[in-house]
Chain A
């Protein structure tokens, strides 16, 4: 009986911290409120985020600010074609011991941080991209047969540049599926641009003190998982996932026409977890179908693979996800 105030207090603390980080991000990062909210939801759900946007829009700033506001370790990997897996994971280095004996000591790579920014991940070779796979999925790194765990919380924010595709290695489906959300960062409007110029060319604003730490973030991640979900809502999320498959009965016409592969079970997990966080943010202790709808585009857009015809006709996955949502809502 004493647990009720505790949960309410934890939920209040969650919202307060979330709001604090959001405010801090928006002190330096202009606009894109939904994107910031989804990036934080993904982070607090323990997921990894893929951000697609042109250079200079503040992707790095966004990730760095999140890490700072939560007092977390931050590292950045600038991905290039000559980046090696060892540059990401770390490697064994031969060192001299106190008595002159030489031994290999594991030197941790930039992946060993709470918040990792993999900038322009599609410029890295598939071999290097796959180095991220184990770390993202298993939260550990294996080098020379030795496994090194990565401390929690751990989140990879990877960015992609959509305008320069030459010399890039598009992420394989298996790796795309490991990202909790994919967020699109469109170009700023004129007003937003004016605000960016005003903020970045004047005196830098004083950054407020961080409000949480790694332990606090771990508590928030645990709290999200406690939110109950009704079977109706789970089934709605599953129908959404099923409807992304071209051969499924639930699939709308556009998916049958333009879809190649549908979303995996990870999509359903992302939908439900994201919806739980969204519900908590909206002062609810239960998940509504609206919460699932709110996070569906971010959770599904990189998991719906389109065919050649869709590429020819410039059909976006977002429009297909909208069709899927409309179809599922109609039933």
Chain B
């Protein structure tokens, strides 16, 4: 006669499998997030091995925690087995009904049926619940992050410079005011910056004293520079490093230089 312990024992492999499936289901979104996080760290020039491993490790830990906390109940597993194996509520009845008589017969039948079933068949790996949203978010994140990585100097050959970098016109800053006093010599300079030459044309008046590898030796120029101007200054300095063959300096990247300029400006503000 099938006892309640026997039905519990028969269900144990299915419970383990259900836990694994739940873990994998929660892992998938976590890994997508981790991949995007790793890319963001790479973009921010944080490239230690720990930075590469940490997001994935955190994702694993969160998935394991979520899978454990949301471990499916025995009844839910029984329902799943009944549905997948077309057992007509046999396992649910075996789990729910206690006592002797017919309930014991039901447990006997259920144990025998469970012995024939494979947990892999009843609990196959499945896509995460909102997988379309997760994939969409991942694709969107790639669309945002990948161009930034592509445009970063470290991703480019020294010859290519920053010619493909396009920036909108800067806000009304001291640099703009100075530029307005000097009429543009050609259309490229008048247009939003579209080439290294254009960057140089608009940025040189401020960064004339800047040494290669720095944003500008004159702090007032960095303070006066607006958001886009800071980026232009950083780009110009990076190009100068490339041209001078100072590849390691150039590899520090345009983004890092941008934030360095921002930091300098904040210090000045204080």
B1 touches A1 (CB 8 A): yes
The reply on A286 being an interface residue by CB < 8 A is yes
User: In the complex, are the beta carbons of B104 and A289 less than 8 A apart?
Assistant: no
The residue from A4, A7, A227, A288 contacting B89, defined by CB atoms under 8 A apart: A288
Whether A192 is near chain B, meaning CB under 8 Å from some CB there, is: no
B102 adjacent to A227 (CB under 8 Å): yes
* Cα-based distance from A286 to B88 in the complex (angstroms): 9
Summarize B's interface: helix, strand, loop or mixed: helix
Give Cα A193–Cα B215 distance, bound, in whole angstroms. Answer: 102
Contacts of A288 in B (CB 8 A): 88-90, 93
B89 touches A233 (CB 8 A): yes
Known: A7-B102, A285-B105, A290-B88. A230 touches B1 (CB 8 A): no
Q: Of B88, B89, B97, B101, which contacts A3 at CB under 8 A? A: B101
A231 in the interface (beta carbon within 8 A): yes
* A3:B92 contact, CB within 8 angstroms: no
Residue in A1, A4, A287 whose beta carbon sits within 8 Å of that of B93 in the complex: A287
Cβ contact of B79, chosen from A229, A232, A284, A285, cutoff 8 A? A232
Question: How far apart sit A11 and B97, CA to CA, in the bound complex (Å)?
Answer: 19
Q: Please give me the residue from chain B that is nearest to A292 by CB atom.
A: B89
Q: Which residues of B contact A287 (CB under 8 A)?
A: 89, 93
Q: 1/0 contact trace for A254-295 toward B, CB 8 Å? A: 000000000000000000000000000000111111100000
A12 an interface residue at 8 Å Cβ cutoff? Answer: no
Contacting B at CB under 8 A, from A51-89, are: none
A226 is an interface residue with CB less than 8 A from chain B: yes
Q: Are B97 and A286 touching (Cβ within 8 A)?
A: yes
- B218 contacts across to A, CB distance below 8 A: none
The residues in A between 221 and 242 inclusive whose CB is less than 8 angstroms from any CB of B are 226-233
Verify if B103 is at the interface (C-beta below 8 Å from A). yes
Q: Is the CB of B114 closer than 8 A to any CB of chain A?
A: no
In the assembled complex, the Cα of A46 lies from the Cα of B121 at a distance in Å of 42
Produce 1/0 per residue, B169-193, CB < 8 A to A.
0000000000000000000000000
Interface mask (A166-195 → B, CB under 8 Å = 1, otherwise 0): 000000000000000000000000000000
CA distance A231 to B109 in the complex (A): 18
Report which residue of B89, B101, B106 has the largest number of chain A beta carbons within 10 angstroms of its beta carbon. B89
A229-B93 contact given A284-B88, A288-B88, A290-B88, CB 8 Å threshold: yes
- A229 adjacent to B97 (CB under 8 Å): yes
Contact A7 B93 (CB under 8 A): no
Any B CB within 8 A of the CB of A8: yes
A228-B93, A232-B79 known; A285 vs B100 contact (CB < 8 Å) = no
The answer to whether A285 and B102 have CB atoms under 8 Å apart is yes
CA–CA, A302 to B105, complex, Å? 35
From 35 to 82 in chain B, residues with beta carbon under 8 angstroms from any chain A beta carbon are 75, 79
- Please, which residue of chain A has its CB at the minimum distance from the CB of B109? A285
Chain A: which residue is nearest B89 at the CB level? A288
Shortest distance from the beta carbon of A96 to any chain B beta carbon, whole Å = 55
Question: Any chain A CB within 8 A of the CB of B250?
Answer: no
Q: Which of A226, A227, A232, A284 contacts B96 (CB 8 A)?
A: A232
Within 8 A of B (CB), among A279-320: 284-290
B88: chain A residues at CB < 8 Å are: 284, 288-290
B residues near A230, Cβ cutoff 8 Å: 89, 92-93, 95-97
B95 CB contacts on chain A under 8 angstroms: 230
Cross-chain contact B1 with A286 (CB below 8 angstroms): no
When chains A and B are docked, how far (Å) is the Cα of A261 from the Cα of B169? 72
Q: Does B24 contact A (CB under 8 A)?
A: no
C-alpha gap A288/B100 in the complex (Å): 19
Interface residues of B in 108-144 (CB under 8 A from A): 109
CB-contact partner of A226 in B75, B79, B101, under 8 A: B101
Given A1-B1, A232-B79, A232-B96, check contact A286 B101 (CB 8 Å): no
Q: Is B21's CB within 8 Å of the partner chain A?
A: no
Indicate which residue in B75, B79, B89, B99 contacts A286 across the interface (CB closer than 8 Å): B89
Q: Can you sample 21 A-B contacts with CB below 8 Å?
A: A3-B101, A4-B1, A4-B104, A7-B102, A226-B102, A227-B102, A228-B93, A228-B99, A228-B102, A228-B103, A229-B93, A230-B89, A230-B92, A231-B96, A232-B89, A284-B90, A285-B105, A285-B109, A288-B89, A289-B89, A290-B88
For the complex of A and B, 7 pairs with smallest distance between CB atoms: A286-B93, A288-B88, A228-B97, A230-B96, A230-B93, A288-B89, A286-B106
Report A's interface with B, CB cutoff 8 A. Answer: 1, 3-4, 7-8, 226-233, 284-290
